Structure 1
Amino acid sequence: MKKINLKKRALLLSYFTVLYNIAEGLISVFAGAAAGSISLVGFGLDSFVESLSGGVMIWRFSPGKKVSEEEEEKIERRAEKFVAMTFFILSAYVLYSSISKLVLHEVPQTSILGFAITILSLIIMPILYVMKYRTGMQLKSRSLIADSKETLACCYLSGAVLIGLILNALIGWWWSDPVVGLIIVYFLVKEGIEAWKGECECCLE
């Protein structure tokens, strides 16, 4: 596939990422506030952070004047660092949210809307991750690959929140969600550091 077509695909995927995550964020924050669920509110804020990453990708792949390979590499590095910063912002919030929930013994109410939005995310996000990752590999774009991994992180967070909601609803294990959240923080920081350093798979070819 021609590079220009790959860039158009990357741009369309980025627009979808932004629009979907804004909608997901609004619904999750509303559902979390109604149910008193820190994890759902945190999930909604994660969606807003991911929409920022998608916005960076829109800037990265928007049509503009032709630039040299050297200039394009500079743009790629700036985009990659912006994506890395969204990883760090997200990891800081997930860490804060998880510790707060453990310390405060926050027991959320059952949220049907919370179940629905996390299940929908688990269906859509893996597909979006694969499409962005493959496009990033074909373009040899480290920033798009890093952005795809943030989408993958959203999949993990969706699963963590859903597990927490299920275990709390069925057997009262309110602590399961924040514990999984703490594990996910490690993944987020690791991916953020790799994105900041530019250590993506396509760099090794």
Structure 2
Amino acid sequence: MFTKSSSWFTPQRLLWASVVVALMTITLKTWAWKLTGSVGLLSDAMESFVNLASAIFALVMVTIAKRPADEDHPYGHHKAEYFSSGFEGILIIAAALGIIWAASHRLASPQPIEQVGLGLALSVGSSVLNGVLGWVMLQASRQHRSIALEADARHLFSDVWTSAGVVLGIAMVAWTGWLWLDPVVAIAVAINIMREGAHLVWRSSQGLMDEALEPEVQAQIQQTLARFAGPKLRFDHVTTRRSGQRRFVDLHMHMPADLTLGQAAALRSDVEQALMHDVPGLRATIQLLPTNVEAYLETNEDAPAAAS
């Protein structure tokens, strides 16, 4: 959906927007909590502080990830985005535990909620801001292949659902008069955002461990290679990994041994260009081998035994 005309929506600009929106929602939700005294709205306001810290850290990590390769980091700084995603997940879990702690005390001593109408209006207004920004950030994250941007967008959507649950809980309290519903909703909200935090930490860990590319991207790579494959040309040992916005593929290309070095290099260049054209952000490393030669790949059985 995002094209070159939407190039204004860079990760850095969107994360700056996330910082501004987080400050606005903190103000609105804290005001709503002060007016109503609802622990549910307090939990909502606490998550907005997490939004702010996460957006600031993500902005720093995205800026680092864009640095070019240097002597100390010859493969670039792209993995910095995974630290942002993991940090955001940890903050979400910490906020959820704080919400549960506050709600458990209110559950033991329920208190009436005041000025429900205005408090809910402020909460809904802040949710609209988060929802619009989250949608824009999620679309942009797919274009830029930014896990930091995706993590922040999904957190904003989680915040929208959190606010919806809180609003529903407070409305039910006002309608039924059951004061215990307010802290129960807050605890349910905390459990939900804790699940989201755990998911972000898991995604971050998989990226740091060089997780393979998505199945649809691997299928596109195989489709591109199939255009070149034939009786005298074959590919094997195709491995992929993702590092932040970058995608990598390593493979062996077997060809007739009687080709000149120039012919072999030209053919490899054609394959590399086709791969990078069909899969945006891909970096291909192709090892040339004669048709009748197989490469030796170390396996667990081949690895040296650990010293006793």
TM bin (shorter chain): 0.7 to 0.9
Taking a change above 3 Å as real, the CA distance of residues 66 and 34 of structure 1, as seen in their structure-2 partners, is: same
The equivalent position to 2:169 in structure 1, one of 145, 156, 164, is 164
Counterparts of 1:203 and 1:121, CA distance in 2? 38
Does 2:14 correspond to 1:13? yes
Taking a change above 3 Å as real, the CA distance of residues 86 and 168 of structure 1, as seen in their structure-2 partners, is: same
**Partner amino acid, structure 2, of 1:51:** L
Instruction: Give the structure 2 partner of residue 144 of structure 1.
Output: 149
SS class of match (2:76)? helix
More displaced stretch, 60-69 vs 155-164: 60-69
Q: Deviations over 1:131-166 (max 9, x none)?
A: 222222222222222222211121112112211222
Instruction: Give the structure 1 partner of residue 243 of structure 2.
Output: none
Counterparts of 1:134 and 1:69, CA distance in 2? 30
More displaced stretch, 192-201 vs 134-143: 192-201
Counterparts of 1:105 and 1:148, CA distance in 2? 34
**Partner amino acid, structure 2, of 1:47:** S
Instruction: Give the structure 2 partner of residue 66 of structure 1.
Output: 68
SS class of match (1:66)? coil
Instruction: Give the structure 1 partner of residue 43 of structure 2.
Output: 42
Counterparts of 1:141 and 1:97, CA distance in 2? 35
Instruction: Give the structure 1 partner of residue 32 of structure 2.
Output: 31
More displaced stretch, 166-175 vs 51-60: 166-175
Matched-pair contact (CA < 8 Å) for 2:16–2:55: yes
Q: Deviations over 1:76-134 (max 9, x none)?
A: 22112211122112211222233222222132213343112111133232222222222
More displaced stretch, 138-147 vs 65-74: 65-74
Matched-pair contact (CA < 8 Å) for 1:77–1:143: yes
Matched-pair contact (CA < 8 Å) for 1:164–1:176: yes
Please report the TM-score for the alignment, with normalisation by the length of structure 1.
0.82
Deviation at 1:69, TM superposition (A): 8.1
Matched-pair contact (CA < 8 Å) for 1:83–1:143: no
Counterparts of 1:55 and 1:90, CA distance in 2? 16
* Structure 1 unaligned residues grouped into runs of 5+: none
Q: Deviations over 1:138-197 (max 9, x none)?
A: 222222222222111211121122112222222213333332332333332222222222
Instruction: Give the structure 2 partner of residue 102 of structure 1.
Output: 107
SS class of match (2:78)? helix
Counterparts of 2:36 and 2:191, CA distance in 1? 27
**Partner amino acid, structure 2, of 1:82:** F
Counterparts of 2:25 and 2:156, CA distance in 1? 13
Counterparts of 2:44 and 2:198, CA distance in 1? 22
Counterparts of 2:125 and 2:213, CA distance in 1? 35
Deviation at 1:203, TM superposition (A): 6.5
Counterparts of 1:175 and 1:98, CA distance in 2? 10
Counterparts of 1:204 and 1:177, CA distance in 2? 43
Counterparts of 2:180 and 2:213, CA distance in 1? 40
Does 2:118 correspond to 1:113? yes
Matched-pair contact (CA < 8 Å) for 1:32–1:38: yes
* Greater percentage in strand: 2
Counterparts of 1:158 and 1:104, CA distance in 2? 23
More displaced stretch, 32-41 vs 66-75: 66-75
For this pair of structures, how many residues does the alignment match? 203
Instruction: Give the structure 1 partner of residue 159 of structure 2.
Output: 154
Matched-pair contact (CA < 8 Å) for 2:39–2:182: no
Q: Deviations over 1:43-93 (max 9, x none)?
A: 222211111111122213338642368433331221122111221122112
